[in-house]
Homo-oligomer: A and B are copies of this chain.
Amino acid sequence: MNTLTEENYLKALFSLSAESGNITVARLSKRMGVKMPTVTSMMKKLARKKMVQYTKYRPLLLTEKGRREALLIIRRHRLVEMFLVKTMNYGWDEVHDLAEQIEHIEAPEFFDRIDRLLNHPEIDPHGEPIPDRSGRLAATPYATLNGCRPGDTVRVRAVTDSSNGFLQYLNKRGLRLGARVRVKAVEPFDGSMLVSYGTRRSETLAHTVCEKLLVERV
């Protein structure tokens, strides 16, 4: 139905819509690693397909249809990541790019089979919820770590960035899903946090790291 490239634009549009601010041509072109004219012409194409609401010079908007498409791609991505980790013994920091390729396979039953094999998992290896077959996504009930204050104790429930680099950083610091983290101090200047968890008595986490950690208050 959609080309691989269209699917990637839909995913990028969806992920930008989850971030703050308008979705602009400039932001999307940066995210996709293409020039702005490329984005303009793709938006016209996706508008023809009723996936995107496009008006010249206006912010980009996913339609309900486009949003559902995006969620179905994300479903496949997350199911595949879970499969790679659970069945093929990959580390959570190794699966993103591979899943990004496998998610575009044209064989719906393949993903249904993974779903069945894994017993209908609700989250992926990074703690993110897996949309259901009709594209419905459970709301994440967690807040980011950077909203916490000194003295708070939380448990890490998910990460919002599953790139190799970030996850390898967490691995190196022994931070896993489920870790119990205590906030010791917050540096007001740069928003970095001094925390303790597991055997680590005192680690500093940069603001950019804290905002990618979804936690549950304990």
Contact = CB atoms under 8 A, between A and B. Distances in A.
Contacts of A107: 97-98, 101
A102 B113 CA distance: 15
Interface string A74-97: 000000000000011110000001
B105 A98 contact: yes
Contact of A105 (B87, B88, B101, B113): B101
A106 interface: yes
Determine how many copies of this chain the complex contains.
Answer: 2
B117 A106 contact: no
A110 interface: yes
Contact of A106 (B87, B101, B114): B101
Contacts of A89: 113, 117
Contacts of A117: 88-89
Nearest to A113: B88
Nearest to A94: B109
Contacts of A105: 98, 101-102
A186 B75 CA distance: 54
A156 to B, nearest CB: 28
A114 B98 CA distance: 14
A28 B87 CA distance: 39
Interface of A: 87-90, 97-98, 101-102, 105-107, 110, 113-114, 117
Q: Closest 8 A-B residue pairs measured CB to CB?
A: A101-B105, A98-B107, A98-B110, A88-B113, A88-B117, A87-B87, A102-B105, A101-B106
